[in-house]
Structure 1
Amino acid sequence: MTAVPVVIIGAGPTGLTAATLLAQYGVECLILERWESVYPLPRAVALDDEVHRILARLGLRDEFAAISRPHRGLRLVDRTMRVLAEFSRDVGPGRHGYPQGSMFDQPELEAILRRNLTKHGSVTLRGGTEVTALAQDADGVRLDVTDTATGAHDVIRAAYVLGCDGANSLTRTSIGARMQDLGFAQRWLVVDVVTETDLDQWEGVHQLCDPVRAGTYMRVGATRYRWEFRLAPDESADDYRDITRLHPVISPWTGTIPATELEIVRAAEYTFRAQVADRWRDRRVFLLGDAAHLTPPFIGQGMGAGLRDAMNIAWKLAGVLHGALPENVLDTYQIERRHHARSMIRLAKVIGTAMTAGGRVGDLVRRAVAPRLHLVPRLRDLAADSETPALHRSALVVRPRLRRGLAGRLCPNAILDDERRFDDVAAGRFAIVTSTTPPARQRAEVEGQGAVLITVRPGDELHRWLTRGRVNVALVRPDGTVLDAGPRLSMLCTHLPVVTRMS
C-alpha cells in the first residue's frame, strides 16, 4: 500500500499547478490521472494576467510566453461585422507584470506543466490510473484505484486529497457535495481550425451579437483559430464536422479563403453552464477547478478559476503539513474561493446573456446601446481591466466591513529598486510592504519570523498602491493576497507568529 501526504486526482492544469506549488514547499504528493498522456484536444484557450502570474510562479515565465500570444481585448460586432464597441487591453506588462490577456493551446500548456513537474522529485505522476472510491477515517483518506491497462487494483493512503477531476468529479460525489445551478444553460458549437493563411483579423476576441447565431471568434496561435456558435434546438456538432458545412458560418472572418485551405481540428458541442458546488471540503478532501465550479466562457475565466483555487490552497496545506499553520486555516479555502468564483461566474453569465438574449428586440437594443458603452466608466473598466474581485473576509483576510481596502486584493507584481519584481523577491513567502523605514528592532522581528520586508519610496508603484489604499503598510500572503493593511507596522506584526513560519 502506497502512503503519501497529498494525493491529487486529475492531471489537468489545476492538478498540475497544485502539485508544483506543493513541491515548491517540499510537500510530497502523488497525482493520479486516468489518461496516459496529455489530453490531445484543445479546450481552454484564454487566461488573464493574474493567472499568467501564477504560471510564472511555477517557473514557466519564458515557456508560457513562447507558446502564447497576447490579445488586444474585446470587440462587439454585428452580423455584418460592423464594430459596435471595442474594449482594448494592454498587451504590454500590466500591474501583474504580464499582458492582460493571452491566448494559448491547452495541450501545449499541459505539456510544459508536465515537463516542469519533472524538476521536483517530491511529485509522482501516475497515468493510466482511475480512482474508483474514496473513504475517510480518523487517520486520513483511502483511495481505491485501478490500472486502466491491466485492470489491477491498488489501495493508496493520503493525509489529504485534492479533487481536480473535472465536471463529472468522483471526488465531489464521494463527499456528498452537489452543484448549485446559477440559472444558465446554452448549447454551443466549439470549433478549432488550422490554416497556414493569415485571416488578417483584429488580434482580440470578437463577440458576434446576432439574435440568430450568437458567436465568438479568436485567434489562438500562429495557425490556429477558434469559433464558438450558439446551436439552434435542431442542430448538433455533427452538422458542422465537414468543412464545407462549416465554411459558410465562419466566412465573415475567412473571407475568400477556400474551404480546402482550412482544416478542422475539433468540432464539439458543449452546454455552457453556471454552477458552484455547495461545499468544497469534507474534512481531508477538497474540490478544485471544474469539480467545484463551472462557468460560461464569455470572459475566459474557466481554467483560470481552477489555477486560482490551487494557488489559494497550496501554501495553506503546506503550512499545515509542516506544522507551521493550524489545521483550521484550511477552512478559509472555501470561504475565500467560493465567493470569488461565484462573482466571476455571475459576471460571465451577465455578459453572455447581454450578448445573446432578447431575439431581434435584444439585437436592436444592442445596436443602439453598445456603441455608447465605452462612455460608462464602470462598464468600460469592467470590460477593459483584468482585476478581479477581492477575496471574502476570512481568518486570513482582515477586510474592513464598511469600506473598500487592500485586504483580499492581490499586491501588484511591481518592479522594485533592484529591478526584480515583487514576486521574485517574496518568492512564495509572507511579505510586508511598507512606505516607512522600520526601526532595527521591528526589522529583526519581521525577518526573524521568516517574512520578507520590502520598503518602498515615494514614486514607486507599490508606494502609490499603498497611498491609494490609504495605508502605510500591507502584509501580503504567499499567494500574493493582502492579509491585512494599516497605518503602522506594529499592528500587522501581531499576525506574524501565527502565519509566517513557512520555510
Structure 2
Amino acid sequence: MSAVPVVIIGAGPTGLTAATLLGQYGVDCLVLERWGAVYPQPRAVALDDEVHRILARIGLRDEFAAISRPHKGLRLLDRRMRVLAEFRRDGEHGRHGYPEGSMFDQPELETILRSNLQQYGSVTLRGSTEVTALTQQAGGVRVDFTDQITGRPDHVLAQYALGCDGANSLTRTSIGVTMRDLKFTQHWLVVDVVTDADLGQWEGVHQVCDPVRAATYMRVGQTRYRWEFRLTPGATAEHYRDITRLHPLVTPWTKDIPAEALQIVRAAEYTFRGQVADRWRDRRVFLLGDAAHLTPPFIGQGMAAGLRDAMNLAWKLAGVLDGTLPDTVLDTYEIERQAHARSMIRLAILLGAAMTGGGKLGNIIRHVVAPRWRLIPGLRQRVMHSETPALRRSALVVRQVLRRTLAGTLCPNVVLDGARRFDDVAAGRFAIVTSVTPSAAQRAAIEGCGAALVVARPGSELHRWLRQGGAHAAVVRPDGTVMRSGRDLSELCTALPGPLH
C-alpha cells in the first residue's frame, strides 16, 4: 500500500489551488480526479480581486490576466429593460492590486491551473480515477479508488485528506456531515452562447429585477456570453436547448441579431441553493469548496469561496506537516471559514431577494427606491467594493473585544518598491508590517523566525492602513490575513512562530 502526506479528492479550481499551495511548500500530494481531462463545460464565470490575488500568489498573475476581462460594475433593470440603477467601477484595480471584478471561462482557468501545477514535483495529478471510499485509521486516512480506464481498484494511505469533490461530495457523505439549509432554493436556466456578432451592450453585469422572469446577463469573453433566467413553474432547460426557442429570451440583448448567428455552448438547469455543512472537518478529513458550502450566484462568490478555503487551510497544513505549527491550528480552519462563508451566502440571498423578490409589490418598491440608491452616501462604493468580512476570532486571529483592530482582515497588497507588491515580499511567509523603525533586537527576532519585515513609510498606503486600524504594527499570516495588531512591536514579534519550510 502506497502512502502520501495529503490526498486531494477533486481537481476543480479548489483542489488544484490547494495542491499548488501545498506544492509551493514542498508537501507531497496526490490529487485524484474522476475526469480524464479538464471538464469542458463552463460553470463559474466571475471572481473578485481578493481571489485574483490568490491566483497571483500561486504564479498565475499574467496567465489569468490574459484569459480574463474586467467588468465595469452592475446595472439593475426592470422587466422592460429600463435602467433602475447603475453602479460603475471607476478604477481599474482594487486594494489587492487587481481588477475588483473579472470575467473568465472556467475550462480556460482550469487549464492554466493544471499547467502551472506541473512545475511542482511533489504533486501528482491522477485523472480518470473514481474515489470509492474513505476510511479513517490510526494516524491516517485510507482512500480507495478505481482506475476508470482499466477498472483496477487501488488505495492509498494519507495523513490528511481534502474533500474538494463538489456539491455531491463522497467525502462529505463518508464522514457523516450534513448540509444546513439557509432557506433559499430557486431553479434557473443557465445559458452560454458564442457569437461573432457585436451585441453592443454595456460591459458590466445586467440584473433584470423581475420576480416572474428574473435574469442576469454578462459578457464573459471576446465572443462568449452568459445568460441566467429564473425558470417558471414546470419549465425545464431541455426546452431551451434549441436556439429558436431560446432566442426570444435573449432578444432584449441581441436585438436584430438572427438566431442562426448564435451558437449555444451549454443550456443547463441549476438549482441555486444556500447551504453550509454542519462540520468541515472530521479528524484528518477536511471539506473545501462546494463540498462545504453552496451559494446563490448573485454576488459571484461560489468558486471564490472554495479558493479562499484552500488559501486558509494549505499553509496551516504545511506547517503541521513540517512540525513548525502544532496540529491544534487545524481547528481554526472551520472556525474562520465557516462563519465567513455563511456571511457571504446570506449576503447573496439578501441581494437576490432585494433584486428579484416581493412580487408586484417588490416591483413597485424597486421602481421607487432603486433610482434613488445613488443618492445614498457611500452605497455605490459599498455595492462595488469587494472587501469581505473579517475572519472570526480564533487561535490565529487574536483580537480583544470592543477594541479597534486589524486582526482577521487582509493586509492590502500594495506596491512597496518598484514593481514588487506586499505578497511578493512576504512570499508565503509570516510578515511583520510596522510603521516604527525596528531595533536591532527586533530585527533579529523577526529574521530568526524566517518572517518578512515590511516598514511602512510615513504617508504610504500601508502607513495609513495601520493608523486607521489604531496600530503601529501587525503580524500578517502567510495567507495575507492579519493575525494580530497593536502598538507594541516587541510584543508582536513574540507572536511569530518558526519558519514554514
Same-fold call, TM cutoff 0.5: yes
Amino acid at match of 1:233: P
Amino acid at match of 2:193: V
Structure 1, 217-226 or 373-382: larger mean CA deviation:
373-382
Note the alpha carbon deviations across 1:286-321, whole angstroms, 9 max, x for none: 000000000000000000000000000000000000
Instruction: Quote the offset at 1:90 in angstroms.
Output: 4.2
Alignment partners' CA distance in 1, 2:72 and 2:91: 6
Structure 1, 464-473 or 286-295: larger mean CA deviation:
464-473
Instruction: Kindly indicate whether residue 33 of structure 2 is the aligned counterpart of residue 38 of structure 1.
Output: no
Amino acid at match of 2:234: D
Alpha-carbon distance change, 8 to 329 in structure 1, aligned in 2, over 3 angstroms: same
Alignment partners' CA distance in 1, 2:375 and 2:391: 29
Instruction: Quote the offset at 1:91 in angstroms.
Output: 5.0
Alignment partners' CA distance in 1, 2:358 and 2:196: 38
Secondary structure at the counterpart of residue 272 of structure 2: strand
Amino acid at match of 1:362: G
Secondary structure at the counterpart of residue 307 of structure 2: helix
Secondary structure at the counterpart of residue 415 of structure 2: coil
Residue 417 of structure 1: aligned partner: 417
Residue 458 of structure 1: aligned partner: 458
Amino acid at match of 2:428: G
Secondary structure at the counterpart of residue 494 of structure 2: helix
CA contact (8 A) 1:91 1:101 kept: no
Residue 19 of structure 1: aligned partner: 19
Alignment partners' CA distance in 1, 2:61 and 2:454: 23
Instruction: Kindly indicate whether residue 423 of structure 2 is the aligned counterpart of residue 384 of structure 1.
Output: no
Residue 163 of structure 2: aligned partner: 163
Secondary structure at the counterpart of residue 416 of structure 1: strand
CA contact (8 A) 1:29 1:124 kept: yes
Matches within 5 A, 1:141-160: 141-160=141-160
Residue 370 of structure 2: aligned partner: 370
Which runs of no fewer than 5 residues in structure 1 stay unpaired?
Answer: none
Residue 340 of structure 1: aligned partner: 340
Structure 1, 360-369 or 282-291: larger mean CA deviation:
360-369
Amino acid at match of 1:61: R
Instruction: Kindly indicate whether residue 119 of structure 2 is the aligned counterpart of residue 110 of structure 1.
Output: no
Instruction: Kindly indicate whether residue 8 of structure 2 is the aligned counterpart of residue 8 of structure 1.
Output: yes
Residue 500 of structure 2: aligned partner: 502
Structure 1, 149-158 or 261-270: larger mean CA deviation:
149-158
Matches within 5 A, 1:344-363: 344-363=344-363
Instruction: Quote the offset at 1:354 in angstroms.
Output: 1.2
Instruction: Kindly indicate whether residue 218 of structure 2 is the aligned counterpart of residue 215 of structure 1.
Output: no
Alignment partners' CA distance in 2, 1:202 and 1:262: 19
Instruction: Quote the offset at 1:456 in angstroms.
Output: 1.2
Note the alpha carbon deviations across 1:214-265, whole angstroms, 9 max, x for none: 0100000000000000001110001111111111111111011111100000
Note the alpha carbon deviations across 1:347-387, whole angstroms, 9 max, x for none: 00001111111111111111111111223346433311000
Matches within 5 A, 1:72-471: 72-90=72-90, 92-377=92-377, 379-471=379-471
CA contact (8 A) 2:71 2:203 kept: yes
Residue 478 of structure 1: aligned partner: 478
Structure 1, 356-365 or 39-48: larger mean CA deviation:
356-365
CA contact (8 A) 1:104 1:220 kept: yes
Secondary structure at the counterpart of residue 234 of structure 2: coil
Amino acid at match of 1:502: L
Alignment partners' CA distance in 1, 2:138 and 2:18: 24
Instruction: Quote the offset at 1:403 in angstroms.
Output: 3.9
CA contact (8 A) 2:405 2:486 kept: no
Amino acid at match of 2:268: A
Note the alpha carbon deviations across 1:196-216, whole angstroms, 9 max, x for none: 011111111000012321010
Secondary structure at the counterpart of residue 260 of structure 2: helix
Instruction: Quote the offset at 1:493 in angstroms.
Output: 1.4
Note the alpha carbon deviations across 1:98-143, whole angstroms, 9 max, x for none: 0000000000000000000001111000001111110111120001
Instruction: Quote the offset at 1:404 in angstroms.
Output: 4.3
Secondary structure at the counterpart of residue 335 of structure 2: helix
Amino acid at match of 2:435: S
CA contact (8 A) 1:71 1:91 kept: no
TM-score by length of structure 2 reads 0.99
Amino acid at match of 2:351: I
Alignment partners' CA distance in 1, 2:456 and 2:21: 28
Alignment partners' CA distance in 1, 2:492 and 2:377: 35
CA contact (8 A) 2:4 2:29 kept: yes
Alignment partners' CA distance in 2, 1:313 and 1:83: 42
Amino acid at match of 1:388: T
Instruction: Quote the offset at 1:494 in angstroms.
Output: 2.0
Note the alpha carbon deviations across 1:6-28, whole angstroms, 9 max, x for none: 00000000000000000000100
How many pairs align?
501
Secondary structure at the counterpart of residue 66 of structure 1: helix
- Identity between Structure 1 and Structure 2 (%): 74
Alignment partners' CA distance in 2, 1:446 and 1:265: 53
Moved over 6 A (4+): none
Instruction: Quote the offset at 1:470 in angstroms.
Output: 1.2
Alignment partners' CA distance in 2, 1:375 and 1:10: 46
Alpha-carbon distance change, 337 to 157 in structure 1, aligned in 2, over 3 angstroms: same
Alignment partners' CA distance in 2, 1:364 and 1:257: 32
Secondary structure at the counterpart of residue 395 of structure 1: coil
Amino acid at match of 2:500: M
Alignment partners' CA distance in 2, 1:90 and 1:342: 29
